[in-house]
Structure 1
Amino acid sequence: MIQNAHAASSRPWVAETEPPFLRIQKVTKKFGDFTAVDEVSLDIYRGELFCLLGGSGCGKSTLLRMLAGFEAPSEGRIEIDGQDMAGIPPYERPTNMMFQSYALFPHMTVERNIAYGLLREGVKRDEAMSRVADILKLVQMTQFARRKPHQLSGGQRQRVALARALVKRPKVLLLDEPLGALDKKLREETQFELLKIQETLGITFIVVTHDQEEAMTLSTRIGVMDEGQIVQVGEPAEIYEHPSSRFVADFVGSVNLFEGRISVDEKDRLEIDSAEMGGTIHVGHSTSCTLDQKVWYALRPEKVRLDREEPVGEANRARGMVEEVLYLGGQSIYKIKLDSGKSVKATKPNLLRHEDDAISWDEPAWISWGDTAGVVLTR
Structure 2
Amino acid sequence: MNETVPVALRKPWAGGSEPPFVRIQKITKRFGDFTAVEDVSLDIYKGELFCLLGGSGCGKSTLLRMLAGFETPSSGRIEIDGQDMAGKAPYERPTNMMFQSYALFPHMSVEKNVAYGLQRDGIGRAEAHDRATDMLKMVQLSQFAGRKPHQLSGGQRQRVALARSLVKRPKLLLLDEPLGALDKKLREETQFELVKIQETLGVTFIVVTHDQEEAMTLSTRIGVMNEGVIVQVGEPSEIYEHPGSRFVADFIGSVNLFEGRVTEDKPDYVEIGAPDLGGSIHVGHGVSCTVNQQVWYAIRPEKVRLSRERPEGRRNAYEGVIDEVAYLGNLSIFRIRLANGVLVRATRANLSRYDDEALTWDEKVWIAWDDTAGVVLTR
Q: Same fold (TM over 0.5)?
A: yes
Q: Which residue of 1 aligns with 2:169?
A: 169
Q: CA RMSD in A?
A: 0.9
Q: Which amino acid in 2 is paired with 1:204?
A: T
The question of whether the paired residues in 1 share the 8 Å contact of 2:106 and 2:149 is answered with yes
Residue 341 of structure 1 corresponds to which residue in structure 2?
341
Q: Is the 8 A contact 1:257 1:299 kept in 2?
A: yes
1:354 Cα deviation (Å)? Answer: 1.5
Deviations 1:73-120 (A, max 9, x none): 000000000000000000110000000000000000001101111101
Letter paired with 1:319: E
User: Residue 33 of structure 2 corresponds to which residue in structure 1?
Assistant: 33
Q: Which residue in 2 is equivalent to 1:323?
A: 323
Assess if the C-alpha contact under 8 Å between 1:110 and 1:145 holds in 2. Answer: yes
SS in 1 for 2:320: strand
2:57 maps to what in 1? 57
Structure 2 counterpart SS, 1:282: strand
Counterpart Cα distance in 2 of 1:313 and 1:139? 54
Contact 1:256 1:299 in 2 (8 A): yes
What letter matches 1:326 in structure 2?
Answer: A
**Counterparts of 1:277 and 1:9 in 2: how far apart (Å)?**
41
What residue is the counterpart of 1:136 in the other structure? 136
* TM-score (normalizing by structure 1): 0.98
Q: Decide which moves more: 248-257 or 126-135.
A: 126-135
Match of 1:235 in 2: 235
Separation of aligned partners in 2, 1:193 and 1:17 = 31
Q: 1:267 is paired with a residue of what secondary structure?
A: coil
Q: Residues 159-198 of structure 1: matches in 2 within 5 Å?
A: 159-198=159-198
Q: What displacement does 1:127 show?
A: 1.0
Contact 2:8 2:48 in 1 (8 A): no
Contact kept in structure 1, 2:176 and 2:209, CA below 8 Å: yes
Map of 1:366 onto structure 2: 366
**Superposition deviation, residue 16 in structure 1:** 2.3
Aligned pairs, how many?
375
Shift of 1:277: 1.1
Given that 1:329 and 1:350 are in contact with CA atoms closer than 8 Å, whether structure 2 keeps it comes out as yes
Matched letter for residue 95 of structure 1: T
1:240 aligns to what SS in structure 2?
helix
Give the drift of 1:268: 1.0
| Counterpart Cα distance in 2 of 1:262 and 1:302 | 25
Give the distance between the partners of 1:77 and 1:48, measured in 2 at CA: 20
Structure 1 unaligned spans of 5+: none
TM-score by length of 2: 0.98
Q: Is the 8 A contact 1:6 1:220 kept in 2?
A: no
Deviations 1:33-65 (A, max 9, x none): 000000000000000000000000000000000
Alignment check: 8 A CA contact 1:275 1:340 kept: no
1:197, distance to aligned residue in structure 2 (A): 0.2
Preserved CA contact (<8 Å) 1:172 1:204: yes
1:98 aligns with 2:98: yes
Which residue number in structure 2 is paired with residue 67 of structure 1?
67
- Report matched runs for 1:264-303 at 5 Å: 264-303=264-303
Post-superposition offset of 1:125? 1.1
Percent identical among aligned pairs is: 74
> In structure 2, what is the Cα distance between the partners aligned to 1:180 and 1:187?
8
Query: Is 1:336–1:343's contact at 8 Å kept on the other side of the alignment?
Result: yes
